Structure 1
């Protein structure tokens, strides 16, 4: 460990010596307190200060950095550190305030594929579930280099990372979705589906499903660009996630077609029926363990068959749509272990009382009783009555 690094060993020994449990706790002396505070403050990192230092490096031309001995690997490590800092939404939004967002987007055009990929990864972290940073990246024209890398980067990792950043940037972001359409994003998605990289295919299919779910009018664009045939091919992929994502996209298209021509996919209808039948045959040969893992796929195949052909698939007849126990309600643990205490107490007290106990209960008197003298006079007069209710004089 470097001499100026964190003295974690000394700090640990000090902590154990004061909390070993063999003796009662005592108040810290002023010297101990001062030493502990200095040790902790020495390890604290001023995140904003550090982000400003990283920003300064990102703003420096690459040739200047190389002359000073900074390698592409060093820049990649620096972006790794920046990604950790911007995981906090506040820090992500502050990156633009300190002038770091634009230089970060500039690294999307780096001549080094690893840096392009890492920069896209940092952008993903910044904009994920963060509408304010989404807007800042859009205003800084960050979608353009991401689209360029997604559609034409020679490195598949850089393309995949760019697609991930685009997905996070345009999610729940209508201006972003509109800009994605205008930037020929759907054509780039079609090309991505033709890739041999499984991860790239998954990300593309998931984004397609999201876009179709949000904008059913885009189904026409998808169909015109030839997506159905490509997705039918991917529905037979060896990768289970790719198959499910392809079937999910086809189901969105079929449901949109339902409004027009009974859910058929036009010229691709016979091809789709063949693909679905092959999937049914494949599912029929699965082991019980594989059937359990293919639960979503089984239901997607049946839903797609039912939507397109107005009849249930043969998975139902074979008993493979819903396996025994899959439709059973989950065990009721909440009412037993998490019942509100007051309600549980009331239920227990009422259950403990028997009917005979209830008869012996004294009614609650809401008003004051009669005056003492009145009660005495009634008792005396009652004592002089005979069995017929007549007074004895």
Structure 2
């Protein structure tokens, strides 16, 4: 039975025969050239062509796809493939040109939660660090289904993925940030912080910190909506990433909030003291993991109370070796003679001492007769 696909073994033999000097150079015949190109093209994917095919599927009504036996799992797998293609910024921007962006955004409203979540994943990849695609998504009204899914979707995974897409869409994008504020995005973020899903909490906290850092005036909105108490609650989370993100937002607020009530100051002190106590009980290994948390606690204490935290007194702010250069593990294998002598000076001194004790003969050597007499006397002594 004939083998299917290109004859790779024949191609290898042909390549070797024409490149190792065993055969004279000659022009390819038209038949050989055609065979070679077909073999290469059989293993080459035309990305744009494939993206157009995926676009056609996305443009097909859901009922028609269902009648054709296309399942939700098939569509999810197709979106995964599309996500790989649009990792290239050029391909991400081309998706709009070939008509694929609008139907992709339509999948954010799909009846299957997994497809809505995966579509948001693809959008995240498209707009990440890509101002052109950010603009295209905004112009195609892609923000609306994303903010709806983030705020209202019954599936927490869909909400989390939509939040991730929004974070990438509005980052360094002033029209996007404005749209987020107008859509009451902060209220949705506040609701996200009450979720029991740690990943959802982390993404919400990270976006809040970014918004506060970029727009100091948003600190007033956050304070009015009661975010600080939520941050303080999450700063005691069992998840270290959530704790760090909450402390980071509290520190941003502390830098931009002039007045603080006595009650709030007391609660802040209690929180930070609790964190210091917990850090003090950690093992050396755990202390290394929470390095950023230690620094945040100290910075927040200094910002709120104008004095260093007790972490400094306890030697827990900077652990031994954290600010030192990495260990020199290669020197013992590539040690220079000068370094070796400086490390072990006693051996060098012994060598010099031995050299000094060796007599330097300046006069004529002993006569041959004296030498013979000395040798014979030595032999007699040995015989005795």
Structure-2-length-normalised TM-score: 0.79
2:254 is aligned with 1:288:
no
2:86 is aligned with 1:86:
yes
Structure 1 range deviating more: 41-50 or 197-206 = 41-50
**Secondary structure at the counterpart of residue 251 of structure 1:** helix
Once residues 26 and 203 of structure 2 are traced to their aligned partners in structure 1, the CA distance between those partners, rounded to angstroms, is: 56
Within 5 Å, give how 1:9-158 maps onto structure 2. 10-11=7-8, 14-15=11-12, 30=28, 34-158=34-158
- Give the match for residue 244 of structure 2: 244
Instruction: Compute the displacement of 1:328 (Å).
Output: 2.4
Once residues 175 and 298 of structure 2 are traced to their aligned partners in structure 1, the CA distance between those partners, rounded to angstroms, is: 36
**Are 1:228 and 1:268, in contact at CA under 8 Å, matched by a contact in 2?**
no
Instruction: Compute the displacement of 1:305 (Å).
Output: 0.4
Once residues 215 and 25 of structure 1 are traced to their aligned partners in structure 2, the CA distance between those partners, rounded to angstroms, is: 70
**Are 1:198 and 1:239, in contact at CA under 8 Å, matched by a contact in 2?**
yes
Instruction: Compute the displacement of 1:266 (Å).
Output: 5.9
**Are 1:306 and 1:312, in contact at CA under 8 Å, matched by a contact in 2?**
yes
Structure-1-length-normalised TM-score: 0.77
Give the count of matched residue pairs. Answer: 322
Once residues 82 and 266 of structure 1 are traced to their aligned partners in structure 2, the CA distance between those partners, rounded to angstroms, is: 55
- Give the match for residue 168 of structure 1: 168
- Give the match for residue 195 of structure 1: 195
Once residues 224 and 28 of structure 1 are traced to their aligned partners in structure 2, the CA distance between those partners, rounded to angstroms, is: 81
Once residues 25 and 50 of structure 1 are traced to their aligned partners in structure 2, the CA distance between those partners, rounded to angstroms, is: 41
2:322 is aligned with 1:322:
no
Instruction: Compute the displacement of 1:327 (Å).
Output: 2.3
Once residues 66 and 171 of structure 1 are traced to their aligned partners in structure 2, the CA distance between those partners, rounded to angstroms, is: 37
**Secondary structure at the counterpart of residue 30 of structure 1:** coil
Q: CA RMSD in A?
A: 2.4
Once residues 140 and 201 of structure 1 are traced to their aligned partners in structure 2, the CA distance between those partners, rounded to angstroms, is: 29
**Secondary structure at the counterpart of residue 316 of structure 2:** coil
Sort the Cα spacing of 1:265 and 1:327 in 2 relative to 1 into closer, same or farther, 3 A.
Answer: farther
Within 5 Å, give how 1:253-264 maps onto structure 2. 253-257=253-257, 260-261=258-259, 264=260
Superimposed CA distance per residue, residues 183-204 of structure 1 (whole angstroms, 9 cap, x where no aligned partner):
0111111111111111111111
Structure 2 unaligned blocks of 5 or more:
330-384
**Are 1:114 and 1:158, in contact at CA under 8 Å, matched by a contact in 2?**
yes
Once residues 297 and 168 of structure 1 are traced to their aligned partners in structure 2, the CA distance between those partners, rounded to angstroms, is: 25
**Are 1:104 and 1:119, in contact at CA under 8 Å, matched by a contact in 2?**
yes
Sort the Cα spacing of 1:159 and 1:18 in 2 relative to 1 into closer, same or farther, 3 A.
Answer: same
- Give the match for residue 305 of structure 2: 309
